[in-house]
Amino acid sequence: SVAIVLFTSDLRLHDHPPLHAALASADEVAPLFVLDDGVEAAGFGAPNRRAFLADCLRDLDSGLRERGGRLIIRQGDVADEVGRLVEETGAGAVHMAAGVSGYAQRREERLRETLGRVGCGLNVHDAVITTLAPGAVVPSGAGRDHFAVFTPYFRRWSEEGLRSPFQAPRTVRVPEGPASAALPTRTGLRGLSPGLAEGGETEGRRLSAAWRRHGLASYEERHDDMAGDATSRLSPHLHFGTLSPAELVHRARAAGGPGADAFVRQVCWRDFHHQVLAAHPAAARSDYRSRQDRWRTGRAAEDETAAWREGRTGYPVIDAAMRQLLHEGWMHNRARLLTASFLTKTLYVDWRAGARHFLELLVDGDIANNQLNWQWVAGTGTDSRPNRVLNPVTQAKRYDPDGAYVRRWVPELAGISGPAVHEPWRLPERERARYDYPEPVVQLSEGLARFKEARGLG
């Protein structure tokens, strides 16, 4: 018998429940990845993520080849391509991971229809892309299908038992015959960030092992140190599923200690946003909680947004962060918080404009995490203090106390030593004139007053 494993955001061989189930129930397994025209059509195929994806697919294919198999690549509509492979192989079952976005939910419905017609079973496995399935824990009370507040979610989530991670299979027998399209490559992709990380399960596992040895124990004290860059950088691997979140949590818990606890809590944020999106797929586009915002539009707002995107707002920490995003396709979490607060609360520009720019560049760009973190910062999401505004200067002095993060990304200010780099406008005029760096696009007090008025905060 033959079973198909349809890979989506779970591009790994370790701890992979659909692959495990397929191997246990069939003689031969056809591992399939479809380069999905729908993802491209939805505008989600940003170059940085396509490059990282190409690395992941190449690595998945070599992992399968080491085990006697190979990866079958097709391009087109997922349901059509799976249906075609079922015909070619006579497969009796398809195994895949459950997705959470509206897109993933529709894909699953279409697959169910297509496979129903040819009498092939569809087995959708939970807790592959997230640690726990969305809906695995729900608040008590009639009609409540998800947690809208993180802390009680985290408490319940932490009480749930985790299955032990599955080993990677030793051998995978793939049916002979089905053709495969060529593996995509990075070559020819335009607009890649020059400092883009490398993808693939091998790299993900190397990175996470190094992280457990050198970073995890001090994560609690150091995660907000922007210059120290002391977070795991595992987010793109979690986004593409080259690492299993359940395995990461499992191993972090085994290591124990305050660093591991803080790290697990952060991985839980990912599950939290996924369960909000699963219950409210529309939160990818519209306010989870409307604040009746009348976001600024028009020429001035557009110019200020362009300055924000390009890293020339005149606020060094904001500009450093936006340039890190352009250069690496990745940004430190504290920097994401500051830049998102600056766009939505200081410039008072619609969170969707910011979320779109992030999705064009972020290698970990993820509908659940990106849209819901943006909403969290904008105060339209799950933050219980929706009107807090992060002051970029105070925050910069706290989280980049020596100014090293700013000097790394804004080289034109590299001549200013210490925290003075956060406020070039305070330098004596003659010294200020030496630096080719813009004046602030807006005064913070002006932005704050505008925001308070807009939100009716008196």
What is the contact surface with ligand FAD in residues (CB under 6 A)?
A: 223, 231-235, 238-239, 266-267, 269-270, 273, 333, 336-337, 340, 358, 362, 364-366, 369-370, 373-374, 377
Instruction: Select 5 or 234, whichever has its Cβ closest to ligand FAD.
Output: 234
Instruction: Select 103 or 269, whichever has its Cβ closest to ligand FAD.
Output: 269
Whole-angstrom Cα Rg for the chain: 23
The candidate with the shortest Cα–Cα distance to 275, out of 138, 106, 96, 103, is: 138
Q: Distance between CA 263 and CA 220 in Å, rounded?
A: 7
Q: Distance between CA 130 and CA 141 in Å, rounded?
A: 24
Q: Distance between CA 40 and CA 107 in Å, rounded?
A: 14
The answer to whether residues 370 and 236 touch, using CB atoms and an 8 Å cutoff, is no
The least distance separating ligand FAD from the CB of residue 331, rounded to whole angstroms, comes to 7
Instruction: Select 114 or 370, whichever has its Cβ closest to ligand FAD.
Output: 370
The least distance separating ligand FAD from the CB of residue 140, rounded to whole angstroms, comes to 25
The answer to whether residues 12 and 202 touch, using CB atoms and an 8 Å cutoff, is no
Instruction: Select 265 or 312, whichever has its Cβ closest to ligand FAD.
Output: 265
The least distance separating ligand FAD from the CB of residue 329, rounded to whole angstroms, comes to 11
Instruction: Select 84 or 253, whichever has its Cβ closest to ligand FAD.
Output: 253
The least distance separating ligand FAD from the CB of residue 167, rounded to whole angstroms, comes to 23
- Going edge to edge, which strands form the sheet with 72-76? 72-76, 28-36, 2-7, 93-97, 121-125
Instruction: Select 270 or 345, whichever has its Cβ closest to ligand FAD.
Output: 270
The least distance separating ligand FAD from the CB of residue 419, rounded to whole angstroms, comes to 23
The least distance separating ligand FAD from the CB of residue 66, rounded to whole angstroms, comes to 27
The least distance separating ligand FAD from the CB of residue 160, rounded to whole angstroms, comes to 17
Q: Distance between CA 90 and CA 175 in Å, rounded?
A: 10
Q: In three state form, how does the secondary structure of 368-430 look?
A: HHHHHHHHHHHCCCCCCCCCCCCCHHHHHHHHCCCCHHHHHHCHHHCCCCHHHHHCHHHCCHH
Instruction: Select 29 or 284, whichever has its Cβ closest to ligand FAD.
Output: 284
Using DSSP bridges, classify how beta strands 121-125 and 28-36 pair: parallel, antiparallel or unpaired: unpaired
